[in-house]
Amino acid sequence: MKKFNILPIILCCCTIALQAQQRYAFSHPQMGTVFRMVFYTQKDSLEAAKIATSVFDHVDYLNQLYSDYIPESALNQLSDLAGTGQKMKVAPELYDILKMSKQFSKASNGAFDITVGAITRLWRKARHLKEVPDSTKIQMAVQTVNYRSIQFHKHHKVSLKIKGTRLDLGGIAQGYAADKCLEILRKNGITAALADAGGDIALGDAPPDTKGWAIDRPIRNANGVIEYEKLFLSNCGITTSGATYRFLEANGVKYSHIVDPRTGWGLTHGNLVTVQAKNAVTADAWATALSVAGQQDVSKMALKVWVLRYEL
């Protein structure tokens, strides 16, 4: 008789365990934004905080690799070698994101291109000075942009063929980091989780007893006003890209902080592009690419895309 009582006892214990899951939320400033994590676990608050610290420590490590603001970052060291023929051995996380970036560039026909750094530096200075960059300097910077110039070699070595090329991971690093946050949480037995890197969102399993994480997507109501509807999602990535707040206005023209790597100019059209993909890094890169190129046929890429036009 005891043998037949084991299954009900196990089911009862599982029910109690599920009810015992606690919600934890943590935040951490990095990469020019604030990383936010929410997850559910049976672990106590001390263990949850310890795991969160390990996740954010890894985000800090990625920033040291990826930042083009830190002179000694691995990314800038690689850019410094552009056109010299020298190969640089890089960390697996940098090698990985560079490979992904080149693939996204090819798939988007160059609308997404991390070799755009010389151009983005011009526009950063322009926003600080509140004046449009010199067109000649833009033309010169465009000559350094070509994702094909990123060359991969054995033993995690990379080289850049074109002199003056500067790398800028601003359109992909946050999504990549958000995915890494979930990866570390999963390794610690936490699957019901959300990692938000300034709007580049990686989603794990849904919270207990819900149909998914509630994510806001911009829409236009019947009166033409932009508002938000809720999507309930899990196990995917989602990003909304646009220049609602970040732009340069000069001579009556508003230039987005998002630049077209093919022309060197900040976008002057307003798009709010929302992309849902298999992970946050894919959503992040494609949201950038589609902000530049407009809506394209992405049916073969397992993406859901919403494009909302507005006046910049």
pLDDT digits (tens, 9 = 90+) for 205-261: 999 999 999 999 999 888 888 899 999 999 999 999 876 667 888 888 989 889 999
Which candidate, 231, 224, 211, places its Cα nearest to that of 276? 231
- 153-168 tens-digit pLDDT: 999 999 999 999 999 9
- 82-130 tens-digit pLDDT: 999 999 999 999 999 999 999 999 999 999 999 999 999 999 999 999 9
pLDDT tier at 12, thresholds 50, 70, 90:
very low
- 50-95 tens-digit pLDDT: 999 999 999 999 999 999 999 999 999 999 999 999 999 999 999 9
Q: Work out the average pLDDT over 188-201.
A: 97
What is the predicted pLDDT for the residue at 297? 66
Q: How far apart are CA 231 and CA 211, in angstroms?
A: 10
- 3-state helix, strand, coil split of the chain in percent (to 5) is 40, 30, 35
What is the predicted pLDDT for the residue at 133? 94
Q: What mean pLDDT is reported for the chain?
A: 91
Residues sharing a CB contact under 8 Å with residue 10, sequence separation 6 or more, in sequence order = none
